[in-house]
Amino acid sequence: MMIVAWDASVRRCSLLYYLRVSSLVGQVSDLPVLLDEMRGLTMSLPVPAVSSSTDAARLLDHWRLRLLNGLLRVLAVVGFVTLIGAGWSDYNALGANAIPYLVAYTAAYLVVPVIAIVQRIGFMARALTLLIVLIALSTLVLATDGLLGSGRVFWMGTVVLAFALFGVRGGIVMLIVSLLALSIIGWLHVRGILSVPPQQLETLNTAPDWIGAGVVYLCTVSLAAVPFMYLLQRLGALAQRATRDAALARENARLAEERAAELERQTARLQETERMLRDLVATLETPAVEIADGVMLAPLVGQIDSQRADALLRRLLTVASARRVRLMIIDVAGVPAFDTLVAQSLIQTARALELIGCQAAITGISPAVAQTITSLGVQMDPITIARSPQDVLRR
């Protein structure tokens, strides 16, 4: 009765060993996946976004649109003052002959508030319209006043504005147009086709002329200063953004280094845990239980392959030598499949145990396993065979 109870206890022990080994093997098999996931965490760190060429072009277009809107608002105010001052100066100098010029100045001025208010026209059309108006005014002033007037200054502001609104190509085209205009008008003045009215030359030092010249100068300075003002503002904003991006990059680099160091520590701990678990699995795969003085039971549970067979041999030899075991009972009732590899590994284990002075006995062979061994033609004569560990102990 005691032997039956003891046999049931051994079976439960073998089952618990099998369940524990299966659980630990599953954990060990999941460790590489866990390590890969943790190594991939460094890829999720935020990094400063690098603007693409499309984003840069969009940003430049936005800046040019703001420049055009601001310049049109300035010209709407300054142009009105310029129209009054220049008209007064020209009327005092030319009298009734200044009326056609005043009409041209007024028509040119009225275009500016229209394109400043109606923004549905589009950037390209509004910018080209503004440049055409400035070209017309610059050419008219240069033709009527010659080198004494502000035509050259107007052309300078127009060229600077073309660079700001249309880039290098647009500025170069406008520079070529201005040189052509200067050349043609200069040739016309030299040939005598165009000339400065004598009454205008006689009144160059009057107060209206100085006031008109000052107002024209203010308008020209506005044409040149407003684009550079917007440019400086934009450069300041870009500098602040670059500073913020640099600080963010440094902070992200520091966080990345800390995260990488922490991941290295976690990886080292996981690798150490993996090594310990593998050692534990190797121990639990082949448990050895002492059931009597000098007698140990090694219940085998699960499939046996070549790797496990080698581990079985090393484990039993180590235990038998360390504990001076005289009888090692190998119970194979928990082995689901029995083939030539299993039989040969058991025979090698039994012979190796006998070489160190330990007798080996195999128990738990079921009828199906016995039929398999017989059909395979495996000779197990040198090994003691018994139905159960109890039968071995009775002998």
Alpha carbon 34 to its chain centroid, in Å, reads: 23
Q: How far apart are CA 264 and CA 168, in angstroms?
A: 53
Q: Which domains does the chain have, with CATH numbers?
A: 1-40+286-395 (3.30.750.24), 53-247 (no CATH)
Task: For 197-219, write each residue's pLDDT tens digit.
Answer: 665 555 444 556 546 555 665 56
Residue 3 pLDDT class (50, 70, 90 cuts) = very low
pLDDT at 9 over 90: no
pLDDT band for position 119 (cuts 50, 70, 90): confident
Please give the Cα distance from 304 to 294 (Å, whole number): 26
Asked if the model's pLDDT at residue 395 lies above 90, the reply is no
CA atoms within 13 A on the CB side of 376: 16
The predicted-structure confidence for 61-91, as pLDDT tens digits, reads as follows: 787 888 888 888 888 888 888 788 777 877 7
- Check pLDDT > 50 for residue 41: no
Helix residue ranges per DSSP H, 191-305: 198-202, 207-285
More confident residue, 306 or 9: 306
CA 361/CA 231 separation, integer angstroms: 95
Angle between the 367-376 and 340-355 helix axes, to the nearest 10 degrees? 90
Mean pLDDT comparison of 96-100, 207-211, 266-270, highest-scoring range: 266-270
**Rounded to 5°, angle at Cα 220 from 58 and 87:** 130
Residue 227 pLDDT: 67
Token digits of residue 387? 């139905």
- For residue 371 the two structure tokens come to 């039929």
The pLDDT-based confidence of 16 (bands split at 50, 70, 90) is very low
Q: Edge to edge, what strands does the sheet with 289-292 contain? A: 289-292, 295-301, 327-334, 359-363, 384-385
pLDDT band (50, 70, 90) for residue 18: very low
- Let me know the angle formed at the C-alpha of 291 by 357 and 328, rounded to the nearest 5 degrees: 30
φ, ψ of residue 301 to 5 degrees: the values are -130, 130
Report the pLDDT averaged over residues 219-229: 62
pLDDT score at 126: 92
pLDDT of 275 > 90? The answer is no
- How confident is the model over 317-328, as pLDDT tens digits? 888 888 889 999
Range with top average pLDDT, 92-96, 176-180, 214-218: 176-180
Query: Percentage of the chain with pLDDT > 90?
Result: 5
Instruction: Show contacts of 378-383: CB within 8 Å, 24+ apart.
Output: 378/340, 378/343, 378/344, 378/347, 380/343, 380/346, 380/347, 382/347, 382/350, 382/351, 383/346, 383/347, 383/350
pLDDT of residue 198: 63
Confidence of residue 182 (pLDDT cuts 50, 70, 90): confident
pLDDT range class, residue 169, cuts 50, 70, 90: confident
